[in-house]
Structure 1
Amino acid sequence: MEMFKVHSVKAAREKLVENFKDFKCEVEEIEILEAEGRLLGEDIHSKLNVPHFRRSTVDGYAVISKDTYGASESLPMFLEVLGEVEMGKAANMKITTDKAVYVPTGGMIPEGADAVVMVEYVEKLDSTNITISRPAVSKENIIDVGDDIRENQKVLSKGVRLRPHDIGVLSSIGVDKVNVFKMPSISIISTGDEVIDPKEELQLGKIKDINTYTLSAMAKEIGLNIVERRVVKDNKELLKNTLKECIEKSDMVMLSGGSSVGTKDITTIVINEMGEPGVFVHGVAMKPGKPTILAKAHNKPLFGLPGQPASAMIAFKVFVEYFIKNIFNLDEYEDRFIEASMTTNIHSAPGKETYQMVYLEREDGEYKAHPVYGKSGMITLMSKAKGYIKIDEDKEGIKEGEKVRVNLF
């Protein structure tokens, strides 16, 4: 029986990146209203200034700031009102010494004015005269041309995940369509004679399919397009034909089960028959998830994850999700995590990266992380866990009360 040649998580990731350093994703042009959550496929530079005219940030009177110097409640300054600016229209008046024009919030600043005095500091004497009880400084309550965004300025970088406020930025500079990355397509295969569809009648010795559903949801959550989802019996020719078909129709393939060194675990053999280089990692120094497979065939990544659901989830986060984030150079803000205090001591496996599932409680304004214990095949591990913590291979464990980073599912 062939045993694992175990790689560290770091070394396995390096091999993954090296084998797919030329992996590229196409882009497609879509309307910005459809782009929320998509990854930007190009740098966006503004073709105009925002704002493209001087605007008031308050309701008030546009003035020449020098005309207000020394103004106070006991000694106000008197100014003549030339009129008012209407929203959405150009200010066609010019302000000269001792003159003022009323401007609403967002309205255009008339030529000659360099400040706006808020209405709170103005008293109307009649339809054409006001007093000002507070001095204004140059550019007070004014946004100048290009103060927000300058023409030719880069406003969004390639690879950023577009959020609602990014859509607003795009609309503000007149962009109605953007190029976004087409996310890779993936096929998901679960192996095992014991695995049946949830709709099938349960018999002794059989288990309902969990992994294709769980892994499909996780893949969808990070943006992958699922083109195929199959449950395959432990039959070499059947698995080989299914894998070949999935490789042809998708950019990536993920298999769960059949990755250990048992007599019926044929995943490695089948993958190696798909083409060079085949399996380049089989066995990772991590707990759970040691039998993880990383492979390449027809220039496409193949991931062999453990059959135990909790282990498969961890292996997905550590390698599949990592791979996608590496392709697009996603920043750390993409990671969803919470800082918490550990409620008990946690021991780790010597020489392995240990991943411990936890659930969270909030006490006295602080999150507490509680370990979820159980064998890796237990469904309660998945239902109770809100995330997991990572213990580095050179660390003996986590002490009670120690601050930890909980990576959220």
Structure 2
Amino acid sequence: MLHVATFEQAKNLLELKFGKCHVGKEPIALIDAVDRVLAQAVVAKEDVPGFDRSTVDGFAVHAADTFGSSESMPALLRNIGEVTMGEICELRCERGECVAIPTGGQLPKGTDAVVMIEKTEDYGGGLIGITKSIAPGENIIFRHDDVSLGEEVYSSGKRLKPTDIGALAALGITEVLVAKRPMVGILSTGDEIVPFDTTPQIAQVRDVNSILLAACVTQIGGHARRYGICPDDDGMLEKRITLMARECDAIFLSGGSSVGAKDALKRTVETLGEVYLHGIAVKPGKPTIFGEVEGKPLIGFPGHPAAVYFIYDLFANPLLRSMMGEIDPLPSPCFRAKLASAIPSNHGRQEYVAVLLTIEEDCFVARPLMSKPGLITQFARADGYIEVPRDCEGFSEGEQVTVFAL
């Protein structure tokens, strides 16, 4: 009989066994660092921006010279020159004077605000009328408003977005230290499995799971190495898993973790290392294995592709993020939606039900995809899923539920 762990117990077990299992570090060029995880904090080596500058086209002024000005009674200032983009401004502006300035131009000495060009009138002969009062600091970005010298810009463990790459470029950073991409070995097991690019015979099925897992690993930033298909033979499994443990940072196996007479996978893992868990109270994905071989974390996924995806999303994805040292990853986007049809009790297991999302009368409506196990194309159509807690008797038609995006 399979003795199962709760979802919480399984999560805690992974953290306990592999929470300190990290891949190495490597320096890479900034341009190649998008979606990589920082392995050390980034500290600013200069102020950004490095000078006070205008955010609009207009005239740099002493703000006090504009107080009380209006269209009917403009403040009159003398234009003493113009700021040139890309050049140091040597002009000094005294009270009663102004300087023409473009967006991004360096603020002349003595000025503390910029009037937008639309709020000025050129009366000729260097005389400029200001038709709106402005406050000190208006339309200006001051030196180090963005980042100050010595400030920690990003902490270790942050996954870099394209906007982060731009921010680091603004700091003059050309190289960053990041976590290496974990090498994940992927093996499909089962006498009935054939390569996905061949035509299966009766009683055979294409290898979907290794391709699915490879795509998931690649998406998160890992290297996926597929080790083909292995029949349910203890000796052959032992050789293949030993090779994977030698060459990879983590081991993903699929297809051989169902309880039965041909449970060669569990026996082999016990021979080579240790099985920490066999069975989780979730649906789909109950016959999942957690183990370790030569210090490498091992997950034995169920045979059905939908179950493979959910187990990956719930357990393998956080494991790989942890191995890269990623901290506080953003949760999956979620939506509140009205349930189009009832979802019955989940029989004591935490259940995950794929749904289609539609918009009706300006509200999201979730339509459960109650497909049979093993039907991958129906699952692939899903927009998200609903989590049904193990102590919940299900949801009623019309009830508001949370849908997590896939």
TM bracket (short chain): over 0.9
User: How many residue pairs align between the two structures?
Assistant: 405
TM-superposed CA distance for 1:127, in Å, is 4.0
2:296 maps to what in 1? 300
2:239 matches 1:241? yes
Q: Distance in 2 between matches of 1:189 and 1:198?
A: 13
Matched residue, 1:370: 367
TM (norm. structure 2) is 0.95
Is contact 2:346–2:388 with CA below 8 Å preserved after alignment? no
Query: Can you list the C-alpha shifts for 1:379-404, whole angstroms capped at 9, x where unaligned?
Result: 34333323321111121112223333
1:100-127 per-position Cα deviation (integer Å, ceiling 9, x unaligned): 1111111011111111111112111114
Query: Within the alignment, does 1:286 sit opposite 2:282 as a pair?
Result: yes
Q: Which residue of 2 aligns with 1:103?
A: 101
1:4-403 pair list within 5 angstroms: 4-275=2-273, 278-327=274-323, 328-403=325-400
Q: Report the alpha carbon displacement of residue 43 of structure 1 after superposing the two structures with TM.
A: 1.4
Matched to 2:21, the amino acid is F
Call closer, same or farther: CA 1:103–1:136 in 2, change over 3 Å.
Answer: same
**How far 1:165 sits from its partner (Å)?**
0.8
Q: Per the alignment, in what secondary structure is the counterpart of residue 346 of structure 1?
A: coil
- % identity of equivalent residues: 36
Whether the aligned pair in 2 keeps the contact of 1:228 and 1:246 (CA below 8 Å) is no
User: 2: distance between equivalents of 1:348 and 1:225?
Assistant: 39
Contact 1:55 1:107 in 2 (8 A): yes
CA contact (8 A) 1:348 1:354 kept: no
Q: SS state of the match for residue 124, structure 2?
A: coil
Amino acid at match of 1:322: P
> What is the Cα deviation at residue 350 of structure 1?
3.2
The residue that corresponds to 2:401 in the other structure is 404
**Mapped contact 2:214–2:225 kept (Cα < 8 A):** no
Gap runs ≥5 in structure 1: none
- TM-score normalised by L of structure 1: 0.95
Q: How far apart are the structure 2 equivalents of 1:326 and 1:342?
A: 34
Residues 97, 200 of structure 1: alpha-carbon distance in 2 compared, 3 angstrom cutoff? closer
SS at structure 1 position matched to 2:330: helix
What RMSD in Å do the two structures reach over aligned CA positions? 1.6
| Structure 1 residues 383 and 147: alpha-carbon distance in aligned structure 2, compared to 1, 3 A threshold | closer
* Residue 332 of structure 1: how far off its partner (Å): 4.8
Q: What is the letter of the counterpart of residue 324 of structure 1?
A: L
Cα-to-partner distance string for 1:70-127 (whole Å, 9 max, x where unaligned): 2122222211111000011111010111111111111011111111111112111114
| Paired letter, 2:295 | N
Q: Which amino acid aligns with 1:310?
A: A
Whichever residue aligns with residue 116 of structure 1, its letter is V
Query: Could you say what secondary structure the match of 2:298 adopts?
Result: strand
